[in-house]
Structure 1
Amino acid sequence: MQALLDVILPVFLVIGFGYVAVWRGFFTAQGVDALMKFSQNFAIPCLLFSAIANLDLTTSLDTRLLISFYAGAASGFALGTLGAYYIFKRGIEDSIAIGFCCLFSNSVLLGLAINERAYGPEALAGAYAIIAFHSPFCYGVGITAMEIARNRGGSPLTMIRGVARAMFRNVLVLAIIAGFIVNLGGITLPGVLRDGLDLVIRAALPTALFALGGVLMHYKPEGDARVIAMICFISLLIHPAVTFTFGTALSVPSDTFKTTVLTAAMAPGVNGYIFANMYGRAKRVAATSVLVATALTILTAWMWLMALG
């Protein structure tokens, strides 16, 4: 119970403030959209850029950690896509969008906030190692699968061009690439630039959590209930369970093992809806899944915290 009170509820209180503020008319939908654009297009990219630029790659990029997390993510995508296609008889493009919801856990807005409160700032190195590859990996898998489905019988060059165009328009991917360039190139940023970045970074998580609450207020609990239940089950239980199994088998160090499993246990991120909206497929299911799974994370994250000790 103490973990629920100390770690999880403060994060969801900020989300709840955003939800209630929009619901009761204290904050406009346009204001929330502006906050989300600021957080997703400016503050979060600054956070990721700074984190990757200052990450100790020799110690943080543990291949065992990455294999454990992304084996779980890939399993989620495969199960979600196949389940939607074969069990629920959705079209292939709808199925890929549904699978993407099972693939893209909310590693930044929820993952960083809950991990920091659970294990302290020093535990975030493992989370940042995951995040460094999260958007490139997930969008790479999702966009490639969708472009293959959309270009059945078409030119491979057209498919490759579509994948590259979509990837390099993603500001999170660009921020991560820039961070790696600074890190690997040994580039030292001017102090005034670092200070400016730090000011923006401090606003990143609270602003994004508040805006997430406001955005979720517009997501009505509608859609195929069975498909939504499948997405929640895969995202909140299967993904972390596979990560836990691989992490145990590969002997991931205990300090990063907990962070890895807890990050895998997060609800689908808003990117699940963004991806569905980008292709105009399964948008209602994706939106509702983000809402329902985010609410369920209060209980499932508590469960995983208890299981991890």
Structure 2
Amino acid sequence: MLQAFGFSLSVTTPILLMMVLGYVFRHRGMISADFIQSGSNLVFNVTLPCLLFLNVANADVAALIQPKLLATATIITVVSTAILWWYGRNMAPAQRGVFVQGCFRGNMGIIGLATIVNAFGTEALAPAGIYLAIIAIVYNLTAIVVLSAAQSRPDQNLLKQTVRSMVTNPLFLAIAAGLALALMRFSLPDWLMTSGRYLANMTLPLALLCVGGSLSLERLKGNRSLIVQASLVKLVLLPAFSVLCGAMLGFRDVSLGILYLMMATPSATASFVMAKQMAGDADLAADIIAVTTVFAIITTTLGLLALRSFGLI
């Protein structure tokens, strides 16, 4: 048990520390809102794509694509969304879709990848990147459905914009390019690999500093009951259900770890943007993001402790 607890802390404590530093730096004026915005853009458009590209390009393609894992994660997302949609049938239209989205849509690109690297090493980045690329598409399409249905006005323009943004997404393009190189067994020059690694190594520290710096619990404007319920589903019930399904299907070690850690991530910041675009309760979305981001470290630590104690990872 002590060894399992030490493993759990080794995964989550560095993430917590970097986020706390980001929060402290922001409130001491060492980093500004402009820095956080610029840093987040740099991560999304340059350093994270570089990180995923290099790891996918140098990996064994057969080991990267796990149809069973991807199908399981997709089915869990769709089924849980349907259940949550039914559960929220009595909520106000502006809150129903936002609540459902906040429960299933996780911050896989930053928190998810960071916990996976800490738990399983950089060799897990490539399969986790493929998971991220596919499930992010599922998240986007599912979010459009629930937010549109909640407002009773399907938004085809937003659907077109979302599809266009997905196929031009730097992360998606980086993974596709990495897969192409891996299939061709093409090796990049050492000087280019070294330069790429410089950029890639910036990704997680910079991203976590920006997450911590943008965190604010000073104004919880949304319905507190819905915030608590969404946080409980996102951080406890959905990850537990995913682990149960994954374990029953025979997933163990890295595969089960990827499924759990991606499902256990706090609510994604993109959910706030989409809620605002589709006339949802943006304050509720922001509050769910803030609360789940704070408490995800605790729930993930306990979840990893349980998985390690039972010998599942």
TM norm structure 2: 0.84
| Runs (5+) with no aligned partner, structure 1 | none
1:7–1:161 CA distance, 2 compared to 1 (3 A): closer
Cα distance in structure 1, aligned partners of 2:226 and 2:150: 20
Q: CA deviation at 1:148?
A: 7.0
**Aligned residues: percent identity?**
25
Instruction: Indicate if the aligned counterparts of 2:112 and 2:265 stay in contact, CA closer than 8 A.
Output: yes
Cα distance in structure 2, aligned partners of 1:64 and 1:161: 29
Cα distance in structure 1, aligned partners of 2:151 and 2:119: 42
Residue type of the alignment partner of 2:139: C
The residue number in structure 2 matching 1:223 is 222
Q: Does 1:90 align with 2:93?
A: yes
Deviates more, 1:34-43 or 1:187-196: 187-196
Q: Does 1:31 align with 2:35?
A: yes
For 1:20-54, what per-residue CA distance to the aligned partner results, in whole angstroms no more than 9, with x for missing partners? Answer: 11122222111111111111222112222333333
Residue type of the alignment partner of 2:104: L
Instruction: Indicate if the aligned counterparts of 2:97 and 2:147 stay in contact, CA closer than 8 A.
Output: yes
The residue number in structure 2 matching 1:283 is 282
The residue number in structure 2 matching 1:56 is 60
Instruction: Indicate if the aligned counterparts of 1:136 and 1:173 stay in contact, CA closer than 8 A.
Output: no
Cα distance in structure 2, aligned partners of 1:54 and 1:144: 36
The residue number in structure 1 matching 2:134 is 133
Question: What SS does the aligned partner of 2:93 have?
Answer: coil
The residue number in structure 1 matching 2:50 is 46
Matches within 5 A, 1:1-309: 1-3=5-7, 5-84=9-88, 86-91=89-94, 94-143=95-144, 146=147, 152=153, 161-217=160-216, 220-309=219-308
Question: What SS does the aligned partner of 1:87 have?
Answer: coil
Deviates more, 1:237-246 or 1:12-21: 237-246
Q: CA deviation at 1:259?
A: 3.1
Instruction: Indicate if the aligned counterparts of 2:52 and 2:125 stay in contact, CA closer than 8 A.
Output: no
For 1:69-115, what per-residue CA distance to the aligned partner results, in whole angstroms no more than 9, with x for missing partners? Answer: 3333333433444434x132334xx5333322222212232222222
- Give the alignment's Cα RMSD to 1 decimal: 2.8
Q: CA deviation at 1:303?
A: 1.4
Cα distance in structure 2, aligned partners of 1:147 and 1:138: 14
Instruction: Indicate if the aligned counterparts of 2:18 and 2:208 stay in contact, CA closer than 8 A.
Output: yes
1:34–1:299 CA distance, 2 compared to 1 (3 A): same
Residue type of the alignment partner of 1:141: T
Cα distance in structure 2, aligned partners of 1:148 and 1:223: 21
Cα distance in structure 2, aligned partners of 1:151 and 1:225: 25
Q: CA deviation at 1:249?
A: 2.1
1:128–1:244 CA distance, 2 compared to 1 (3 A): same
| Runs (5+) with no aligned partner, structure 2 | 309-313
Question: What SS does the aligned partner of 2:137 have?
Answer: helix
Cα distance in structure 1, aligned partners of 2:215 and 2:49: 21
Instruction: Indicate if the aligned counterparts of 1:148 and 1:159 stay in contact, CA closer than 8 A.
Output: no
Cα distance in structure 1, aligned partners of 2:162 and 2:121: 37
Q: CA deviation at 1:12?
A: 0.7
For 1:108-162, what per-residue CA distance to the aligned partner results, in whole angstroms no more than 9, with x for missing partners? Answer: 32222222223333444542332231322212332355567779488x7x67634
Instruction: Indicate if the aligned counterparts of 1:216 and 1:291 stay in contact, CA closer than 8 A.
Output: yes
Instruction: Indicate if the aligned counterparts of 1:96 and 1:146 stay in contact, CA closer than 8 A.
Output: yes
Alignment length (residue pairs): 304
1:219–1:16 CA distance, 2 compared to 1 (3 A): same
Q: CA deviation at 1:4?
A: 5.0
Deviates more, 1:198-207 or 1:54-63: 54-63
Cα distance in structure 2, aligned partners of 1:20 and 1:153: 42
Cα distance in structure 1, aligned partners of 2:130 and 2:167: 20
Instruction: Indicate if the aligned counterparts of 2:130 and 2:175 stay in contact, CA closer than 8 A.
Output: no
1:145–1:55 CA distance, 2 compared to 1 (3 A): farther
Cα distance in structure 1, aligned partners of 2:125 and 2:173: 21
1:189–1:4 CA distance, 2 compared to 1 (3 A): closer
Q: CA deviation at 1:19?
A: 0.9
1:7–1:162 CA distance, 2 compared to 1 (3 A): closer
Deviates more, 1:212-221 or 1:236-245: 212-221
